[in-house]
Copies of this chain bind each other. A is one copy, B any other.
């Protein structure tokens, strides 16, 4: 029996009998979904919270990450007595489609060829990721999620859930996100992809067979991206121009500055835990994300396409987030207002940049905690 303090791992498989149909028109089967849960699903299955992870995240929101041995990525948010309270809720997070932590992605075997997919893996979208999550939720017998939440790309999935499966989402909490990927964000992703593809060890995506990994390219991609996750103020506060283990600059190309050493570490540690092709596919899915596109650019219509908007929203942004700035989050608020949805919005004062959603941000916890408690009362979940 699952309990609130320990996370459990699960795997769900979609078979050839009911393949996953993708936005590209291609179908995919078998598809394996790796997921983690914590807490206990109540009898009427009304207390489930789906957590959607970000670009380089995974299902290990809590406890130890079994693949990297690092702590869960959202331990600040999730656990017994925490904002997403494992004593009250059944919390689920699955590795996204195209990922590399157990869910089917480009490094897995293509049953048609008997070899890893590489670039034969279909290009996927945020809607495809959500489509697969919906299959998992159906499999778990959950008709309506109490809450769907996540930050960054996780927030994109939340918005896609609310648009495509509104009847399955009681409340939606997208954090530090946008309804469309901006030109600047596409540009940064393209730099990362080009860095990976420029690495001769990438071998056109077929590096698995060569026994190598495009480490250098992936590290550069990660370094560039990592800068965008922080803020200038955070980098300044943390590193300023401090030197790394030396009193004077070296007049050379070593990591003289702490910020260089930090970035190099971010790059080199990333390549040990992440698949380069997954990085290509997931960034591409984010670039393609534009929720209003199939509604003539009218975002409100994406939310009301399936009738009146019953889902309630709580949207959070951070003042120093320049990757998904407050303006992008407010655009979602405006569209939800236009769709007559109930929506709360809070801009949290923080100098930690985009990564603030992963960190100890009391105002975020207070906001979400209050919102969820009120929703739980309405849903008849309070006091259990």
Interface set of A (CB-CB < 8 Å, partner B)? 23-24, 119, 122-123, 180-184, 186-188, 190-191, 193-195, 197-200, 216-217, 219-220, 223-224, 227, 230, 232, 235-236, 238-241, 249, 251-253, 255-257, 259-260, 263-264, 267, 280, 284, 287-288, 290, 322, 325
Contact = CB atoms under 8 A, between A and B. Distances in A.
Copies of this chain present:
2
18 contacts: A122-B251, A182-B235, A183-B239, A186-B257, A187-B223, A187-B227, A187-B260, A190-B223, A190-B255, A190-B260, A191-B223, A191-B224, A197-B253, A198-B216, A198-B219, A200-B200, A232-B322, A249-B288
Contact of A191 (B194, B220, B290): B220
A214 B190 CA distance: 19
Contacts of A187: 223, 227, 235, 259-260, 263
A257 B185 CA distance: 12
A186 B288 contact: no
Nearest to A195: B220
A280 to B, nearest CB: 6
A interface: dominant SS: helix
A307 to B, nearest CB: 28
B241 A191 contact: no
B198 A241 contact: no
B220 A198 contact: yes
Contacts of A223: 187, 190-191, 194
Contacts of A227: 184, 187-188, 191
A259 B183 contact: yes
A337 to B, nearest CB: 23
A260 B185 CA distance: 11
Contact of A290 (B216, B241, B259, B284): B241
By CB atoms of chain B within 10 A, which of A182, A236, A267 has the most? A182
B188 A241 contact: no
Given A123-B253, A183-B232, 10 more contacts: A123-B251, A182-B232, A182-B235, A183-B236, A183-B238, A183-B257, A184-B236, A200-B200, A249-B288, A253-B280
A194 B271 CA distance: 15
